[in-house]
Amino acid sequence: MAIDVATVRKVAKLARIAEPEARLESLVQELNGILTWIELLEEVDTDGVEPMTSVVHQGLPMREDVVTEGGDPAKVLANAPKTAKDFFVVPKVVE
């Protein structure tokens, strides 16, 4: 399943990373190198094998649905690039 420039452009868009056109060709080669190697997995018989999403053999723990901490906007905003009063300032989202 070799990928081409159009696929890399699309994936970069999905990942929200601006990749300059001049970089796409070399990325195609790098990613294909990795993907070809990964295709080794096709050899493995995985019929009826349950996908393994976690190595922890315990259910997710439940707790009471109560507030444990919070109410400190100064801490939440301490590292924000732009703030106004107790808010994050972000670019316009709706045109």
Partner 1 sequence: MSDLTKLTLKTALQGLESKSFSAVELTQAHVAAVESAKALNAFVLETPDKALDMARASDARRARGEAGALDGAPLGIKDLFCTEGVRSTACSRILGDFKPTYESTVTANLWRDGAVMLGKLNMDEFAMGSSNESSAFGPVINPWRGQGDDTPRTPGGSSGGSAAAVAAELCLGATATDTGGSIRQPAAFTGTVGIKPTYGRCSRWGVVAFASSLDQAGPIARNVEDAAILLKSMAGHDAKDSTSLDVEVPDFASFVGKSVKGLRIGIPKEYRADGMPPEIEKLWEQGVAWLKAAGCEIVEVSLPHTKYALPAYYIVAPAEASSNLARYDGMRYGLRVDGANLTETYEQTRAQGFGEEVKRRILIGSYVLSAGYYDAYYLKALKVRRRISDDFDQAFEKVDALLTPTAPSAAFTLGENADDPVAMYLNDIFTVTVNLAGLPGMSVPAGVDANGLPLGLQLIGRPLDEGTLFSLGGVIEEAAQFKTRPQRWW
How far apart are CB 6 and partner 1 at their closest, in Å? 13
Q: What is the CA radius of gyration of the chain?
A: 23
25 vs 82, which CB is nearer to partner 1? 82
Give me the residues that bind partner 1 (CB under 8 A), please.
1, 3, 7-8, 11-12, 14-19, 27, 30-31, 33-35, 37-44, 46, 49-56, 58, 60-61, 63, 75-76, 78-82, 88, 90-93
How far apart are CB 86 and partner 1 at their closest, in Å? 13
Q: What is the DSSP string of the chain?
A: ----HHHHHHHHHHTT----HHHHHHHHHHHHHHHHHHGGGGGS--TTPPP---S--SPPP-------S---HHHHHTT-SSEETTEE-------
How far apart are CB 84 and partner 1 at their closest, in Å? 13
25 vs 39, which CB is nearer to partner 1? 39
